[in-house]
Each structure stands twice: as C-alpha cells, then as structure tokens.
Structure 1
Amino acid sequence: MLVQVEGVTRSASGAALVEVRTSVGTVTVRWCGDLEATPGAHHVEWELDEEFRWGPDCHPVDAGTPRLGQDERGAFFRGRLGLTSSTPAFAHLELADAVVDLGRVDALPDDAAGSWVEVHLEPGKVAAHPYSTERYRPEGGGDGGGSGGGAEEGRSACAPEATDPREPRTRAWTNRVLRPPLEPELSRSARSGIFASHHAARNCRTPVAG
C-alpha cells in the first residue's frame, strides 16, 4: 500500500512510531524501516501482531467501505475477509489496494468468507514494513557485485545490525513472511493459493528491503 509517513517519535518503551496517512484513514504505528529517510511516500506491508478471535476483536460490520484508524478501543482495520482453502484456513483482510494477513481467527463462522469485518488491536501491535519494488528480489538473486542490491542507508528501526557486509543494513526482519502486495485484480482463489503458500513458509525468515 502506498502511504504518506510523518516524522518519527518514540514510545515510552523506545519503539519508533510514525503517523501513517492512507487513502482510507490515518493510524499511528510502529515503524520498521530506515529512521533517517522516513518522512514522505512509502510502499508498506502491514503486520498485525495479534491472535484474533471472532467476536471480541474481529467482527462483521454493515459498512461496505475499507477503513483504518484509531478510536477508544485502539487501532482498527476494516475490509473484506478472505480465507485460504487450506485446513486450517488462514484469514486475510482486503483493504483498498492492500492485503493484510490475519493468521488464524479463532471461532470463525463457516460463512464468514467474503463478509465485511473490522479487526481491533492495540496500536503497539501494528507495524508498517516499508519496501521498494525496484530493490525487491528473491534471496540469492542479484544485480552482480557484492552490494546486496542497494546502497547502504540508515539503520532500520526493526532490523538487527547486518553482520555480512554484502547485506544492506536497511533490511527488515520479521517472524512473518513478507512480500510485495498482491495485485488488486487477482481473483480470490488466486489470493487464497498465495496465502496458503505464505503460511506454509511462515517460520522462515525472509528479508525485505527497507
């Protein structure tokens, strides 16, 4: 998703926070990218670090419009619910031009797929991982040389210091498999297949350029 990011602030615990403005709302989240080049336009991948349960923090809504923001309960994301065809099924939220991974949703009704839902979680559990479509490539792929595919920039807020000089310091790591966003025109069956593969590899550590 293409977003507009404001300057970095710090939470009481020291986490880097940014205000992210999108076409469907504004939310303050943890920033997992280059701290020195943060303000401005970025493509980001959303990470919602929550174990959702149907009812308390994931529920159907009548409004058929995508939305994200913050209210008295914390951060919220509203979109159309998609499910993989795997067993167990994994959920994702179609939010404007983004697809947001929800993982497994406990007590999910059988007829929930395709419905409009809203998920709620603490703001500190929402992270934005920036990426560049020009620099993204599979691990081991390359443009020759030993640069690792890009000039070194500032340190990523969520990435450890690189120990290999060939690796750019701006790569963000997470326990989820990150990737460029799915194209909006993909069918739901195609999305489900991709997310099934995504979760099969969920324990891998995959780098994404920051």
Structure 2
Amino acid sequence: MLIELLNLTERPGSLWLAEVRASFGHATVRWYGDRGAEPGEYHVEWTIDEDIIWGQNAIPTGGIGPGLRTRGLGAVLRGQLSLTEDGAALLDFDGTSILLDLADPLPEDVAGAWIELCIPREKVGLYPYAL
C-alpha cells in the first residue's frame, strides 16, 4: 500500500513512530523501516501485533470503505473482514490484506462485515519495501 510518511519520532526503548497519511485517513503507528527515512511516499506492508478479540478491539461498524484514524494512543483501522476455510482471519484494508491473530474463533456471521480494529499504535507496524 502506498502511504505518505509525514514524520518520524523516536520513543524510549528505540521505538519509532511514524505519522502517516493514506487517501482514506491518517494515524501514528510503529515504523520498522529506515530510521533516517525522509518524509514522502512509501510502499508498506501493514502488520498487527496483537490478538484480535471480537467485541473488544474488533467491532462491527456502520461505515463502509477503508478508514484510518487516531484514537488516544491507538490507531483505528476500518476494513472488510474475511475468514479462510482453516479459521484464519484477514482484514482487507484498501486492497491490502492484513493477517489477524485471533484470541478466539470469530462468529461465523461476521465474514464480509466491515469492522474497526482499535489497536495501540505501537502494535500496528509498517514495513516499507521497494517495488
């Protein structure tokens, strides 16, 4: 996915946070790329390093379409949920699939639903890559 890196900030413990913008919103999340990266456009892979718990950090939303915003010290990602035959869950985030780690199986009737994930910003990672 193509994002715009606006700013990088170092936090205690060598944690780097990136303020980023996409066509559907902006947020601050963890940066796993070059710490000397300059503001500009980057292709990135999104990861979520937190177990998904339905009804707690994953909720259905009335909104349709991808979304990205900040809530307190967390990031809110809105996308469409899909379930695989083997029980894995993916979030379609504007054409990019994010594999989700589930604490418990999701209800079967949520496949295809638009959901919001509310995740602490240090648990949402961006890995830039070159095309």
TM > 0.5 between the two? yes
Question: What displacement does 1:37 show?
Answer: 3.1
What is the root-mean-square deviation in Å for CA atoms of aligned residues? 1.5
Q: 1:116 & 1:53 partners in 2: Cα distance?
A: 15
* Aligned equivalent of 2:126, options 125, 128, 151: 128
One-letter identity of the residue aligned with 2:112: G
Q: Is the 8 A contact 1:80 1:95 kept in 2?
A: yes
One-letter identity of the residue aligned with 1:127: G
Q: Which runs of 5+ in 2 are unaligned?
A: none
Q: Which runs of 5+ in 1 are unaligned?
A: 134-210
Percent pairwise identity: 39
**1 or 2 for the larger relative contact order (CA 8 Å, sep ≥6)?**
2
Aligned length: 131
TM-score (norm 2): 0.91
Q: 2:2 & 2:91 partners in 1: Cα distance?
A: 17
Q: Runs of 4 or more off by more than 4 Å in structure 1?
A: none
* Structure with larger Rg: 1
1:117 matched to which residue of 2?
115
Secondary structure, in 3 states, of the residue corresponding to 1:20?
Answer: strand
1:108 matched to which residue of 2?
106
Q: 1:23 & 1:116 partners in 2: Cα distance?
A: 18
Q: 1:76 & 1:99 partners in 2: Cα distance?
A: 16
The Cα offsets for residues 77-120 of structure 1, whole Å up to 9 and x where unpaired, read as 1111011111xx11111111321121225241111110111111
Secondary structure, in 3 states, of the residue corresponding to 2:34?
Answer: coil
Relative to total residues, which structure has the larger strand share, 1 or 2? 2
One-letter identity of the residue aligned with 2:6: E
Question: What displacement does 1:35 show?
Answer: 2.0
Secondary structure, in 3 states, of the residue corresponding to 1:124?
Answer: helix
Structure 2 residue 92 is matched with structure 1 residue 69: no
TM-score (norm 1): 0.59
